[in-house]
Amino acid sequence: MARLVGNALIGQSGGPTCVINRSLVACVEELRKAREVTGIWGARHGVEGILKEEFVDMKGQSPAALAALLDTPSAMLGSSRKKPKSDDCQKIFEVFKKRNVRYFFYIGGNDSAQTANIINELARGEDYQFRTFHIPKTIDNDLLGSDHTPGYGTAARFVASAFMGDDLDNRALKGVKINVVMGRHAGYLTASSVLGKLDRDSGPHLVYCPERKFSMRRFITDVDRVYRRLGRCVVAVSEGINKGKGPKKLIVYEAGMVMLRPGVRKELPKDEHGNPQLSGTGILADYLVYRVRKALEPKYEKTGKKLRVRGDTFGYLQRSFPGVMSEVDAREATAVGKAAARFSLSADIDGSVVIRRKQGRRYAVEIDFLPLTDVAQGERRMSKGFINAAGNYVTKRFINYALPLIGKMPKTGLLKAKPVKKRR
């Protein structure tokens, strides 16, 4: 087989993660070894940069400069939320032809696989020799075809650590604590809140994922039950909890309708259906705190107990906090970047890199690839077996699945001290 001579272009897309730059560096380093790859370029801000021909030279980067990116969170080339339409894809293909781009790597979620696929079809239609690979990344862990996705393990480690610390905090100053976790459609990240628990009575005591319909009544009953037993309760809630399909069924939408003055609500950013977009704010946590207080405070006041209820929204820290990294996730982010370059150099093939977990007691994976369309066609939700029947916690099966992905947690412990006998 004749080698395909030409330039390589790499882009990053979607929400940043802490390990996405590892995939970038690994891909660049692998491409460097191949003589047929003449230029190695990075596209600034994904498809936006490609459309504007804003490329940077990655071949000229020193090994030290690349090494400095390994532990640096966020997409170093810049990212983009743009989903290119078919005429954008046509323009992108024109740029590729003009610049002799023969290898294209797009690091991102299922939209990125879709983009790579459309451009690939255009190339095929014109008999333009071209190879493209989608390199998976998302903290949501919702890509089809893979056991799990690079970016998830580190974000899950952050969330597990945050809940470990927050539960310890809530043992010291007791109350009800509600934390909102990223993940609009998939509950994987919210579910990972349980992975740092120090004992059976550690929080989170309740976990709500978007895959199950949320009932405010049951939620409050759940909180009350835990609080009565322990005098404290830590709750993990996905930002995407809902009463059914569609933006108006989101609890965050209800939060806006109940809490905000109509004039303020009107001014909030709208989604494509004209409904107020309420993500990226603290209102869901605030609303759940409000509902719990309203329902339970009077009850506990009667017994002379002051109910303390607080809410936090973990926000962007979940995907970009430096210095907290799952070593497993970091290793695999490197592996998928390297594999994408190798696959593309090995034969006239295209695809989306996937991670498969090997059978067996010890955690091990193999890196393979699937047709782009297999990964592009949708999102993966939490499997039914990962959420308990009541819809308010995860199962042992989920813990077995997720625990190997977050790496070794920091060493911590609970004080187990005997009470000193009281004296009359």
Looking at 83-91, 199-207, 387-395, 412-420, which segment touches a copy of itself (CB under 8 A)? 412-420
β-partners of residue 30 are none
Query: Of these, 119, 207, 283, 336, which contacts a copy of itself (CB under 8 A)?
Result: 283
Residue 419 near a copy of itself by CB under 8 A:
yes
Q: Residue 273 or residue 422: which is nearer to a copy of itself going by CB?
A: 422
List all residues 6 or more positions away from 112 whose beta carbon is below 8 Å from its beta carbon. Answer: 11, 13, 14, 46, 106, 134
Catalytic residue among 88, 140, 167, 329: 140
The span from the CA of 250 to the CA of 350, in Å, is 38
Piece of the chain touching a copy of itself by CB under 8 A; list 112-120, 127-135, 213-221, 316-324? 316-324
Torsion of CA 21, 23, 25, 27, to 10 degrees: -150
Cβ proximity to a copy of itself: between 72 and 377 the closer is 72
Residue among 5, 83, 94, 165 that touches a copy of itself (CB under 8 A): 165
| Nearest residue (CB) to a copy of itself, 218 versus 293 | 293
Please name the amino acid found at residue 305.
K
Query: How many residues lie near a copy of itself (CB under 8 A)?
Result: 90
Contact 8, 105 (CB under 8 A): yes
Minimum separation from the CB atom of position 46 to a copy of itself (A): 10
Radius of gyration, alpha carbons of the chain: 24
Binding test (CB under 8 A) with a copy of itself, winner from 23, 34, 47, 79: 79
Residues 181-210 that bind a copy of itself (CB under 8 A): 196
- The CA–CA distances, whole Å, from 359 to 54, 56, 353, 356 equal 44, 42, 19, 9
The verdict on 280 binding a copy of itself (CB under 8 A) reads yes
**Least distance to a copy of itself from the beta carbon of 233, Å?**
15
Would you call 167 a catalytic residue per the annotation? no
Task: State the nearest-atom distance from the C-beta of 221 to a copy of itself, in Å.
Answer: 20
Eight-class DSSP state of 303: T
Q: Does 61 bind a copy of itself (CB under 8 A)?
A: yes
* Chain centroid, CA 9 distance in Å: 25
Exactly one of 91, 216, 247, 290 binds a copy of itself (CB under 8 A); that residue is 290
- Residues with Cβ < 8 Å from 261, sequence gap 6 or more? none
Residue in 75, 252, 296, 406 binding a copy of itself, rule: CB under 8 A: 75
Q: How far is 393 from 381, CA to CA, in rounded Å?
A: 16
Closest separation between CB of residue 1 and a copy of itself, Å? Answer: 28
Whole-angstrom Cα distance, residue 150 to residue 167?
27
Question: Do the Cβ atoms of 16 and 75 come closer than 8 Å?
Answer: yes
Binders of a copy of itself in range 354-393 (CB under 8 A): none
Using CB under 8 A as the criterion, what x/- string covers residues 36-55 for binding a copy of itself? ---x-xx--x-------xxx
Q: Which residues pair with 136 in a beta bridge?
A: 108
304 binds a copy of itself (CB under 8 A): no
> Closest distance between a copy of itself and the C-beta of residue 25, in Å?
10
Interacting positions 82-101 with a copy of itself (CB under 8 A)? 98-99
Site residues (CB under 8 A) for a copy of itself, limited to 245-274: 258-261, 264, 267-269
Q: Can residue 327 be called a binding residue for a copy of itself (CB under 8 A)?
A: no
377-380's contacts with Cβ under 8 Å and 24+ in sequence apart are 377/110, 377/144, 378/110, 378/144, 379/110, 379/140, 379/142, 379/143, 379/144, 379/185, 379/186, 380/141, 380/142, 380/143, 380/144, 380/186
Nearer to a copy of itself, 173 or 364 (CB): 173
Which of the residues are catalytic? 140
